[in-house]
Amino acid sequence: MAAPRAGKTNNEADQPSSPVLRFGRDKPLKLDAGTLLSPFQIAYQTYGTLNDARSNAILVCHALTGDQHVASTNPVTGKPGWWEVLIGPGRIIDTNRFFVICSNVIGGCLGSTGPASTNPATGKPYGLDLPVITIRDMVRAQQMLIDHFGIEKLFCVLGGSMGGMQVLEWASSYPERVFSALPIATGARHSSQNIAFHEVGRQAVMADPDWHGGKYFEHGKRPEKGLAVARMAAHITYLSEAALHRKFGRNLQDRDHLTFGFDADFQIESYLRHQGMTFVDRFDANSYLYMTRSMDYFDLAADHGGRLADAFAGTKTRFCLVSFTSDWLFPTEESRSIVHALNAAGASVSFVEIETDRGHDAFLLDEPELFAAIKGFIGSAARARGLSA
């Protein structure tokens, strides 16, 4: 049997290619699990220049399999940043005007403390010895990073999917530190259907014989097949039936006839297999377990006595929520419920539902209506904040 490929993310776990902020035992991270994480580190990227008033900072929160390389080349894949279409000099989020910060979340695998990081108590990767991480834990760590820059109030916090969950948590936990918030394609809690899909993915990883109870690094193994299947299942949820049909239909892959076997006869099969195998080169399997669990545990209303409006009581933050008509992972109803809660809390809120057949992943793609909504909201908020164009 061929040896597993070397995980490129392994090298990034402790010594990332991006800047990293390390916190010693005197500054532990308090976790919802009831324990303290210490020492720990946060890997991040910044773009643009922080102004003298420290009033032009934008925090971008990444999605489940994202990272801090939002507008710069990814050191593992060599690909452009995952939101370079939106962020950069002269772009909608203009780094000639704004100071953009994006950090790898705690529990991730590209430099912030996660299951692939070295546990100082053992000298080995944490594996499942790392406490379960929540969205609130991620935001607490980000808040410590923001403190490091001496920023009292962020001009804007934005992100999609799991990133949108972080935006909502920021606005709820630190309302006085968020001038404007832009949650995209997200929800105030994970639905039972979403939890179910995540559980399928986790079970695929844990059923891989190379998983070794999460200690695969110690065995020189990686649960590639299980993680690839998990990614394939998840990737289907990011798309829509219309998009799949438009792109693939029932077209055959490099053949004229059915093989009457179990090879990838159809283009969609080949596409999903490719997605799975390229994913295992850039992501850690245990981190996938932790990231999906953090989304499953997120329930902002439950954290406030079951009333979502109470999560935003008295907020002065300006909100804009965006959903997509074909997103069945976080359907428009999820965004509407947040809008209703914000209205009940007396918040300043706008809402845009964008017509598209591209599904949940639309927030990562070149969607003119999305960009127009972001540009309008950012521009209006900047004027209200007194930031010159």
Q: What residues are designated binding site?
A: 231, 361
Q: At what angle do helices 285-297 and 192-207 cross, to 10 degrees?
A: 160
Task: Clarify whether 360 is annotated catalytic.
Answer: yes
**C-beta of residue 381 within 8 angstroms of C-beta of residue 93:** no
Give the other-Cβ count within 10 Å of 146's Cβ. Answer: 22
Active-site entry in 137, 240, 327, 335? 327
Tokens of 161: 């999917």
Element (H, E) at 148: helix 135-148
- How far apart CA 294 and CA 290 sit, in angstroms, is 6
The single residue of 62, 69, 198, 360 carrying the catalytic annotation is 360
Q: Is 94 a catalytic residue?
A: no
Rounded Cα distance between 244 and 47, Å, is 35
Among this protein's residues, is 161 annotated catalytic? yes
User: Among 64, 287, 351, 324, which residue's Cα sits nearest to residue 190?
Assistant: 64
In angstroms, rounded to a whole number, what is the distance separating the alpha carbons of residues 106 and 114? Answer: 6
Q: Compute the distance between CA of residue 158 and CA of residue 66 in angstroms, rounded to an integer.
A: 14
Query: Which residues belong to the annotated binding site for substrate?
Result: 231, 361
Tokens describing residue 212: 């070794």
In order of 188, 299, 360, the CA distances from 304 in angstroms are 12, 9, 27
Which residue out of 18, 55, 161, 180 is catalytically annotated?
161
Which residues have a catalytic role annotated?
161, 327, 360
